[in-house]
Amino acid sequence: MTVQPTLGVWYFTDAMSSIDAAGFARRVEDLGYTRLWLPETVGRDPFAHVAWLASQTTTLEFATGIASISLRHPGAMVQATNTVNEQTGGRFTLGLGVSHEPLVAGLRRVEYAKPLTRMREYLAAMDASPYMAVKPAEPATRLLAALGPKMLELARDAADGAHPYWTTPAHTELARDILGADKALCVEQKVVLTTDATAARAAADTALSTYDKLPNYRNNWIRLGYTEEQIDGRDPAFVDDVVAWGEPAQIRERIDQHFAAGADHVCIQPLSTEGPLTLDWAALEALSA
CATH number at residue 279: 3.20.20.30
pLDDT at 218: 96
Task: Assess whether pLDDT exceeds 90 at residue 134.
Answer: yes
Q: What is the pLDDT of residues 155-198, one digit of tens each?
A: 999 999 999 999 999 999 999 999 999 999 999 999 999 999 99
User: Rounded mean pLDDT of 72-100?
Assistant: 95
CA 52 to chain centre: 20
**Alpha-carbon span 52 to 45, nearest angstrom:** 11
Residue 228 belongs to some domain of the structure: yes
Give the pLDDT score at 104.
65
Residue 211 lies in a domain: yes
Q: Cα separation of 101 and 112, whole Å?
A: 6
Confidence of residue 100 (pLDDT cuts 50, 70, 90): low
The average pLDDT across 114-138 equals 97
Q: Which pLDDT band, with edges at 50, 70 and 90, does 62 fall under?
A: very high
pLDDT digits (tens, 9 = 90+) for 1-58: 444 699 999 999 999 999 999 999 999 999 999 999 999 988 999 999 999 999 999 9
DSSP string spanning 249-274?
HHHHHHHHHHHHHT-SEEEEEEPPTT
Is residue 190 within 8 A of residue 269, CB to CB? The reply is yes
Q: What pLDDT is recorded for position 30?
A: 98
Domain total of the chain: 1
The span from the CA of 50 to the CA of 84, in Å, is 8
216 pLDDT higher than 80:
yes
Mean pLDDT for all residues in the chain? 95
Residue 140 falls within a domain, yes or no?
yes
Q: Is residue 244 part of a domain?
A: yes
112 — pLDDT class (breaks 50, 70, 90): confident
Output the CA–CA distances (angstroms, integers) from residue 176 to 87, 159, 165, 210, in the order listed. Answer: 32, 14, 14, 27
Q: Is the peptide bond before 19 cis (omega within 30 degrees of 0)?
A: no
pLDDT surpassing 90 at residue 102: no
- Banded model confidence at residue 106, pLDDT cuts 50, 70, 90: low
What is the reported pLDDT for 1? 40
Whether 55 is covered by a domain: the verdict is yes
Parallel/antiparallel/unpaired status of strands 61-64 and 35-38: parallel
How far is 74 from 200, CA to CA, in rounded Å? 40
Position 1 in a domain? no
Domain that holds residue 117: 6-288
- Which residues, in sequence order, are CB contacts of 117 under 8 Å at separation 6+? none
What is the structure's pLDDT at 99?
Answer: 72
Asked if 285 and 25 touch (Cβ cutoff 8 Å), the reply is no
* pTM over 0.85, yes/no: yes
Domain membership flag for residue 278? yes
